Amino acid sequence: MRKVEDMDLEKGISVNELIKEMDKSGGFVAKKLAKAVDVAEKMIADKECKVFLSFPACIVATGVRGVIRKLIEKKWVDVVITTCGTLDHDLARIWRDYFHGSFFADDGELYRKGIHRIGNIFAPVDSYGKILEEKLQPMIGKLYEKRKAWSSKDMIWEIASMIEDGDKEKSIIFQAWKNKIPVFVPGLTDGAFGSQLWLFYQDHRDFVIDSLKDEQELSDIVFTSKKTGGIVIGGGISKHHLIWWNQFKGGLDYAIYLTTAVEYDGSLSGAQTREAISWGKIKEDADHITVEGDATITLPLIVAALLERID
């Protein structure tokens, strides 16, 4: 057995050194977080491994957007699976600002003032739906002129390539296009971006979202990969799509779940890595860990440690 050691913290300690102290400490989620860094380092270093990243939209409304962007800029991930809301927040923040708010704000008052709340983030109406309609409708028109049917992955890259103004370099999808990292959104109509597609469709009935082309591309990636790894942030459709496709090749070889969801309600979001083994979504001998905690804390710590470890 390995003995528990006290953390030895000193002024100026680096994030990677802190993670190593957490590993020595033995408990509780600190140890899991340390293992997550180890697993992430292994899957990124494994040249035979394609790394899949999934995440929900909410964290894109926060500064953690920059952490996700860093993973893409470093090319530490090969495939992104996310939600329509990610497109909403990522695109909106190219042209407009979100603001610090409060979980305990008067929501009725916010509504009357035209301010949306995402946890303790405030997104004014002018920073969300209005700017997206203004910017996206001309872009969707250009898509339509080029061809009538689009997969989410092709559409996202094409939209990103059209962005010429605003703070585009900070955008997740712009960096994904720039670094040729595919982004798949299986629930493309579930948000403001999707509503803009629907709006365009009202006068262009031959405009088509080709979801099956996305599925074929995901299938091709999975089956041409010798190994696969998953960094799964949160739950929902993004998490499920990532692990679902990987079951068909025998499961993920590496897996990290970062979650706040509980297991006892039987939900997909709360299901831990060990449950996925029963489905074949993660291999029985995979290197895997579930880390309970807010990803706005855990993910920056993991990525900061990796920046110290990986050249």
| First-to-final CA distance of the chain | 33
Contact 31, 59 (CB under 8 A): no
Partner residues linked to 74 by β-bridges: none
180 Cβ contact list (under 8 Å, min separation 6): none
Tell me the one-letter amino acid at 108.
G
* Residues ≥6 apart with Cβ < 8 Å to 140: 196, 197, 200
Cis peptide before 122 (omega within 30 of 0): no
Amino acid type, 118: I
The catalytic residues are 281
Residues 6+ apart with CB under 8 A from 24: 4, 5, 6, 7
